[in-house]
Structure 1
């Protein structure tokens, strides 16, 4: 479908940026994981989890995006982040 090609290229470019941002976020999560391990801070801080999820859901709603979609995406992203922090704390990840 040639007519879709330019749109697909734009979507692919955005997907590349999303992956780059996820890699950058993962690096910061790893730094936080090491800090939490060193300081004895739990990986999951529920107040922070709620704050991140709801802040981004509200931003999505302001921009016309379904906040439930963003909540679901952040639930998955936050769970992955907490799992990484737990692995770092257990000495199973760098």
Structure 2
């Protein structure tokens, strides 16, 4: 509530809590799921670990990619075979 130049805040309850007119807000849960009481380090994000939201590295090391039909995968680069017939080319395709 804004009254003149003073701002009054009501208490917060539920997943996010705070006393009325208190600048300290606590997030204990997200959508009813616990948030770990651990401060994140630089580069970390909140990730679901199966039990709680907790700080963890923001990486994709567990992602596996598989090349589909007509594609090749070398490291992180996909490529495809040259096209023939009505469509020709390797990086730029031409329709005959």
Same fold (TM over 0.5): no
Query: Which structure has more strand as a fraction of its residues?
Result: 2
Higher relative contact order (CA 8 A, sep 6+): 1
TM-score (norm 1): 0.22
TM-score (norm 2): 0.22
Larger Rg: 2
